[in-house]
A = this chain, B = another copy of it.
Amino acid sequence: MSHNSFGHLFRVTTFGESHGPAIGCIVDGCPPGIALTEADIQIDLDRRRPGQSKYTTQRQEADAVRILSGVFQDERMKAQVTTGTPIALMIENTDAKSKDYSDIRDKFRPGHADYTYWAKYGVRDYRGGGRQSARETATRVAAGAVARKILTHLYSKEVNIRGALTQMGTETIDRKNWDWDEVANNPFFTPDAKAAARFATYLDGIRKKGSSIGAVVEVIADGIPVGLGAPLYGKLDADLASAIMSINAVKAVEIGDGMAVATLTGEENADEMRKGHKGAPEFLSNHAGGILGGISTGQPIVTRFAVKPTSSILTPRKTIDIDGNETEIFTKGRHDPCVGIRAVPVGEAMVACVLADHALRHRAQMG
């Protein structure tokens, strides 16, 4: 049992606080002989990096990753490859602003973990949110980059794990406009160009009020073969749910049709099958989101999650302080008006990690 690890055969253990010297993780279980460089990981980190638009925190971090172990420049393979030993990844904190934290040190932000941390541990690194800062998610993205390498190594280049923002507050995308190429063209990671324009106007309004807003993120994994997962307590969707719910601010996880299955009849929910390409089984629909009985069907794996608005807002809220006195709090300074945006690459990374873990588990079970 660990409070700072996830996964089993592909196992990630993270460390670090927002304003400490560094954050990082140890990635354990990566098979040997896979080409891996810092640049491979940096690509993903750069997508999550803060300060890239006015819609995310203005903290400036290069988020430059350093591989401390687990790779080796092999003469015969003529490449830097994994060796099967643990891969330690470190990202130094460089823009941890020294400022007056007495307000959040002494008062609990409503909707934030300030109160529960203090009540449980009696001591906390409150600077920038400490361990609870979304900054920790950079280590997940780094680990996810290694997970993607493993999946490609095992299943060919067709594995593709992509996330998208599908809802921001009351604004939603039109699924008819879905275009994966569009995701990189706007600061919201949204696949609907028209929605991107609406999101911009909407979030400008939120941001200027010093408010914040929730969002929905969808992650789709293509190219995963049938058979990953296991019944009941080893269900692929149970592990996805846990991994996604472990991301800061997430309050709900859906697989396939998610909450909407409550209104479906058995006839509607049944993903019918026929003989497909080269005689392989093919589904006529994907209400199941690519998972039946906890095991992947070979269809795209569809995960969706809701991210709550950040509790750092300019409007004063009633609260208490660490001595139990009633007071008010409002939060100045850098923050994301919609933390759901940067949750997109984080969600992708978590899905990649869970799938890499199950890919290795499947090998153990089935050879």
Contacts and interface: CB of A to CB of B under 8 A. Distances in A.
Q: Please tell me how many copies of the chain the complex holds.
A: 4
Interface in A15-67: 15-17, 20-24, 26, 28-29, 31-33, 66
Interface of A is mostly: mixed
25 contacts: A4-B233, A5-B13, A13-B28, A15-B87, A16-B86, A72-B125, A85-B130, A85-B231, A108-B273, A120-B229, A169-B264, A216-B259, A237-B251, A238-B242, A238-B246, A251-B254, A251-B256, A251-B288, A257-B308, A258-B306, A261-B307, A269-B309, A275-B325, A281-B320, A361-B364
A20 B281 contact: no
Q: Which 9 A-B pairs have the closest CB atoms?
A: A113-B293, A3-B234, A364-B364, A116-B295, A212-B266, A110-B270, A242-B242, A15-B88, A266-B313
B259 A259 contact: yes
Given A241-B241, A252-B259, 16 more contacts: A1-B9, A3-B232, A5-B11, A9-B365, A15-B26, A16-B68, A26-B26, A72-B125, A83-B131, A120-B226, A120-B295, A251-B289, A273-B318, A275-B320, A275-B325, A363-B367
Contacts of A281: 115, 119, 320, 324
A104 interface: no
A111 B252 contact: no
A85 B266 contact: no
A188 interface: no
Contact of A214 (B14, B122, B244, B262): B262
Given A3-B233, A13-B13, A132-B293, A123 B32 contact: yes
B306 A260 contact: yes
A98 interface: no
A190 interface: no
Given A242-B239, A253-B253, A313-B267, A306 B2 contact: no
A113 B69 contact: no
A27 to B, nearest CB: 9
B4 A234 contact: yes
A252 B242 contact: no
Contact of A266 (B211, B227, B252, B289): B211
Contacts of A366: 31, 120-121
A319 B283 CA distance: 9
Given A21-B68, A131-B231, A269-B111, A262 B307 contact: yes
Contacts of A70: 15, 17
A28 to B, nearest CB: 5
Contacts of A292: 111-113, 115-116
Interface string A310-339: 111101011110001110000000000000
A208 interface: no
A231 B3 contact: yes
Nearest to A113: B293
Given A4-B85, A86-B13, A275-B325, A123 B233 contact: no
B246 A233 contact: yes
A360 interface: yes
A347 to B, nearest CB: 14
Interface string A283-306: 010011100111111100000001
